[in-house]
Amino acid sequence: MNTEEYIASGTLEFYVFGLLSEAENREVKQLADKDETIQAEILSIEKAVINLSYSVAPHLSAANYEKIRQQLIEKHSGVVQMEPKRGMNPYMGWAAAVILTFGLAYQYYQNTEATKEVQAATAKTSKFEQLVASLEQKNTETEKALAVVRDNATSIINLAGQEIAPQAYAKVYLNRNKKEIYVDLAGLPTPPDGKVYQIWALKLDPLTPTSIGVIADKNASSGIFRVDNNDGAEAFGITLEPAGGSKSPTLEQLYTLGKV
């Protein structure tokens, strides 16, 4: 088959259309490499069908290129490094670099500020954590105290004001079952500096005081305090004593007293 006959057979059109087998493709390629006429014919056929399909294509939005570019960058990063599609002003690159530099500087500043804020916030948080812990502890104590106060087995002993402070009063909550004693000092004046209230359990015959607690808290009047248990107590008294408490009560400073 000479070149003309080969061209007339229509094989080259099929070659361009992609309808030949692999073996046929190789054969055409070999012939085209040897014969310029065949090569030129292939190019013309290709040009015609590219023109045809180009002409019948609907309007293709410009955004499409950008979408493909994005897909290639996102899903196949590193596979393609594309230049901007349209000729961009060469100064754009420098402008971008300057903007980037300022941007980075600003970000660095922001980051430093943010770090400071985080540190301050962390300090605040740990303060709050401590506060919460101490409140929780207080709450537990209060709940315990409340449980005793509300307990049916708890007897309340009212301690009446004595000579030194007739208006004073205090309460003792005594629970024999749980072997717990609480005192409420709401009715006592705030102790002067260097002085504390000491709580005494008393046996009456003969009069034998036993110290069951020293309330060192400045705000003694604000709460209920647990003191040591004392099984045989027949009365309770509260005296004002020097800080640290005394071995025996200073009777001149007896503020309140009450019998069980």
* Residues at the interface with another protein (CB under 8 A): 8-11, 13-20, 22, 25-26, 28-29, 42, 44-61, 64-65, 67-69, 71-72, 75-76, 79-83, 85
The one-character DSSP state at 11 is H
For another protein, the closer of residues 44 and 126 by Cβ is: 44
For another protein, the closer of residues 30 and 130 by Cβ is: 30
For another protein, the closer of residues 84 and 192 by Cβ is: 84
Report residue 38 CA to chain centroid gap: 74
Q: Which residues pair with 85 in a beta bridge?
A: none
For another protein, the closer of residues 50 and 95 by Cβ is: 50
Nearest to 213 by CA among 193, 237, 191: 237
Min dist. Cβ of residue 42 to another protein (A)? 7
For another protein, the closer of residues 61 and 89 by Cβ is: 61
Number of helical H runs and strand E runs in the chain: 6, 8
Min dist. Cβ of residue 39 to another protein (A)? 11
Min dist. Cβ of residue 106 to another protein (A)? 30
CB 198 within 8 A of CB 214: yes
Min dist. Cβ of residue 3 to another protein (A)? 14
Min dist. Cβ of residue 100 to another protein (A)? 20
Cα separation of 125 and 121, whole Å?
6
Return the biggest CA–CA distance within the chain: 144
The one-character DSSP state at 240 is E
